[in-house]
């Protein structure tokens, strides 16, 4: 899958998979200045896509619209498997598309296993209660997110990184082909960010699921994502495979960041290094 980046010029649908989730000309927000204006985007299937952009660029808003948390207020449509997501019964969407929002709340006293079990919500009803199938999905999700050892601990007593892995296990237990994650790595230290992104990349590559992650850390995004979407002022500035999009030019245009983009000799992944202006007296030495 890695070699496909070089083959085509910014292919939206690598590997020939048709996009299952797309935005077509959507406008979000009210009044004269919409947050997102006439945006179209196809989410590459079976890949990890990272959406990056400066604060207030509308990246979380876009993700919420994809997850049907926000209505498409100003026109356009978001399609999941060819059907408008906002008009599809929400339970049906929840079997295909999972969302991990920013700052989810774990009710007091909830254990890890109980939290992960909540991911089975769309498969249960008043008449259809807990099944063997649900138990299997929860066990697998906890194993994949490496929280099996924590199963009987209370979520409230875990560290930030452990807690985030539990929430990821919950959305994995939902067994959807598509997962949307809103800033899952924010406020976590670098080691934990790397662990989480490794987990998410493996979910995409090993299980063939489609992941969309909104995030801040540019180098972490470049190291783990297959595709990048760069947003600024409510529209998409650049999108495509990381190697094509993660350029000094784009970083300057989107973030106003003066940085050199190098290649990590080990992974071949691009890395940005901000240019530091040295004080003349130090530079002279």
Closest to another protein by CB, 133 vs 264, is 133
CB within 8 A of 263, min separation 6: which ones?
A: 269, 270, 271
Question: Pick from 2, 7, 40, 90: which binds another protein (CB under 8 A)?
Answer: 90
Question: Pick from 101, 184, 234, 241: which binds another protein (CB under 8 A)?
Answer: 101
Question: Pick from 54, 74, 104, 161: which binds another protein (CB under 8 A)?
Answer: 104
DSSP state string for 133-187: HHHHHHHHHHHHTT-GGGTTSBGGGS-HHHHHHHHHHHHHHT--SEEEEESTTTT
Q: What is the spatial distance between Cα 149 and Cα 172, in angstroms, rounded to a whole number?
A: 17
The interface region with another protein, picked from 46-54, 130-138, 255-263, 275-283 by CB under 8 A, is 130-138
* 108 is a contact residue toward another protein (CB under 8 A): yes
| DSSP one-letter code for 14 | G
- Residue 105 Cβ, how far from another protein at the closest point, in Å? 5
Closest to another protein by CB, 180 vs 230, is 180
Q: What is the spatial distance between Cα 227 and Cα 119, in angstroms, rounded to a whole number?
A: 27
- Residue 250 Cβ, how far from another protein at the closest point, in Å? 30
Q: What is the spatial distance between Cα 245 and Cα 260, in angstroms, rounded to a whole number?
A: 14
* 11 is a contact residue toward another protein (CB under 8 A): no
* 200 is a contact residue toward another protein (CB under 8 A): no
Q: Decide: helix, strand or coil at residue 39.
A: strand
The interface region with another protein, picked from 76-84, 120-128, 200-208, 234-242 by CB under 8 A, is 120-128
Q: What are phi and psi of 10, to 5 degrees?
A: 45, 60
Question: Pick from 109, 256, 265, 280: which binds another protein (CB under 8 A)?
Answer: 109
Tally of CA atoms within 13 A in the half-sphere of 137 that contains its CB? 23
Question: Pick from 43, 46, 67, 218: which binds another protein (CB under 8 A)?
Answer: 67
The 148-187 site mask, x for binding another protein (CB under 8 A), equals -----------------------x--x-----x-------
Q: What is the spatial distance between Cα 238 and Cα 38, in angstroms, rounded to a whole number?
A: 15
Closest to another protein by CB, 46 vs 171, is 171
Closest to another protein by CB, 64 vs 209, is 64
Q: Decide: helix, strand or coil at residue 247.
A: coil
Can you give the length of the chain in residues? 285
Which parts of this chain interact with another protein (CB under 8 A)? 64, 67-69, 90-95, 97-110, 113-114, 116-119, 121-122, 124, 126, 129-130, 134-135, 138, 171, 174, 180
């Amino acid at each position: 899958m890695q070699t496909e980046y070089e083959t085509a010029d910014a292919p939206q649908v690598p590997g020939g998979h048709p996009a299952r989730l797309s935005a077509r000309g959507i406008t979000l927000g009210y009044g004269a200045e919409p947050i997102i204006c006439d945006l179209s985007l196809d989410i590459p299937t079976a890949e990890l896509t990272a959406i990056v952009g400066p604060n207030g660029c509308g990246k979380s808003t876009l993700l919420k619209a994809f997850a049907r948390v926000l209505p498409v207020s100003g026109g356009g449509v978001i399609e999941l498997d060819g059907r408008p997501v906002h008009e599809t019964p929400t339970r049906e969407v929840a079997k295909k598309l999972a969302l991990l929002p920013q700052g989810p709340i774990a009710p007091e006293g909830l254990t890890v296993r109980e939290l992960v079990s909540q991911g089975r919500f769309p498969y249960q009803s008043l008449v259809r209660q807990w099944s063997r199938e649900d138990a299997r999905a929860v066990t697998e999700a906890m194993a994949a997110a490496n929280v099996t050892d924590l199963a009987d601990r209370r979520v409230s007593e875990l560290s930030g990184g452990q807690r985030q892995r539990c929430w990821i296990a919950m959305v994995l237990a939902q067994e959807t082909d598509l997962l949307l994650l809103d800033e899952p790595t924010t406020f976590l230290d670098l080691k934990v960010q790397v662990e989480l992104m490794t987990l998410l990349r493996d979910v995409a590559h090993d299980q063939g699921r489609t992941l969309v992650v909104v995030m801040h850390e540019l180098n972490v995004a470049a190291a783990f994502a297959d595709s990048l979407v760069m947003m600024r002022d409510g529209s998409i500035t650049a999108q495509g495979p990381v190697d094509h999009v993660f350029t000094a030019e784009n970083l300057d245009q989107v973030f106003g960041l003066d940085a050199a983009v190098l290649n990590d000799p080990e992974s071949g992944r691009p890395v940005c290094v901000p240019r530091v202006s040295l004080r003349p007296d130090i530079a002279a030495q």
